[in-house]
Amino acid sequence: MSQILSEKEKQSIEELRSRLSDELKEVPSYSDDYSLLRWLIGWDYNIEAIVPKLKYLLTTLSALKLHEADFSSIDKVNHYVIDISKAAKYCPGGIAGYDKKGNVVMIQPMGRSDPKTLLSTCRLSEMLKIGISESEGVVSLIRANEERLNQKLGTVIICDLEGFSLDLLWMPGMKFYMLLLQTLQAMYPDIIKKIYVIRAPQAIHTAYNMVYHVEFLSANWKEKLQEVISPDQLFEYWGGTLQAATPFGNIRMGGKVPTELRYDANRSALDCTSEQLSTLSVPARFSKTVVVKVDLSGSRLKWFFRVSSGDVNFSIVHSSGKVMQPVFLLNTEFVPECGEVSCELPGEYTLTFDNSHGKLWSKEIKYRVQVLVPDAS
């Protein structure tokens, strides 16, 4: 059945298109009615609140070049995520198929997650990119089905807590998962249609059974899932008939990250010695910048930094206003932050370390910034 938009919805959609016309030219996939309608519903038609949030999403997608990624199939999305990092397969999750209404079905075997080894392996910016990339891939698949069926769709999530242990409640891991969840909820409103939780311990079942959109399934969970999802859209491990080389198919099952993949300053080629690092003190409620001039197109801007304690918002913007590295709230308790961008535009690149959210404590940043010019040969 086609979904007919009301006059209020049409007018609000056109206002968003008008106010974000420049950003939507850069990321045109978000110009369609249903993509903008999701934002209106998710933020209760508050245009003034939506504009900066949607602008952040669009500039982030452009900076991470996700608007150029090929997310035209489930396999392509899953492979894109795996290729982000050698540790990506230890971040539980993945896309299985579609439910009977056309919503995308995701599976998150969170019970098998091992946050201690994961946070000792991946930079937080890397893990945020994994989450954002997968979410953007899901939205691309939703958008394709919406165009085919002419109705607004979303995603159904199966959260599998088999293997749950108290390690999952380790506080640094909980803090990161909350950051990731809050980031994705802000960037992708009105996406989740339903969350089914299976194989959950009774304590978790009791504590969260009243959460909106969440339904805890009992011993007959396979039959319940098949009421809304055809068996040929689920892998064998979740009661389906979808064929794959393993019972899990392409779903990332988590587990402990092997020792050789974990960060070790003594054998990391990206690490810097104390002599190579500069120091920047950022007071609470303030931000500090490092400005780097790039003369040659095609140069690479590389950065490395550690925060003394807590976290800091980090971003990079070109003097033209183009966002090169989106604002991410990062800490370096386990793995230092590093990365690089290709500088197609000569000019000044401003690296911002923002501690505006800090109430009392200043943050000391130990950092190194390099500009690598193109090889003359």
Q: How far is residue 240 CA from its own chain's centroid?
A: 28
pLDDT of residue 204: 74
Report how far residue 55's alpha carbon sits from residue 280's, in angstroms, rounded to the nearest whole number: 29
Q: Where are the alpha helices (DSSP H) in the chain?
A: 7-19, 21-26, 33-42, 47-63, 74-84, 115-119, 124-149, 171-187, 202-208, 221-228
pTM: 0.93
The string of pLDDT tens digits covering residues 226-277 is: 999 999 999 999 999 999 999 999 999 999 999 999 998 877 666 777 788 9
Q: Give the mean pLDDT of 170-190.
A: 93
Q: 32-41, 129-138, 207-216: which range is least confident on average?
A: 207-216
43 pLDDT above the threshold of 80: yes
The string of pLDDT tens digits covering residues 50-109 is: 999 999 999 999 999 999 999 999 999 999 999 999 999 999 999 999 999 999 999 999
Q: 312-318 and 155-160 as β-strands: parallel, antiparallel, unpaired? A: unpaired
Strand, coil or helix: what is 99?
coil
The string of pLDDT tens digits covering residues 289-337 is: 999 999 999 999 999 999 998 999 999 999 999 999 999 999 999 999 9
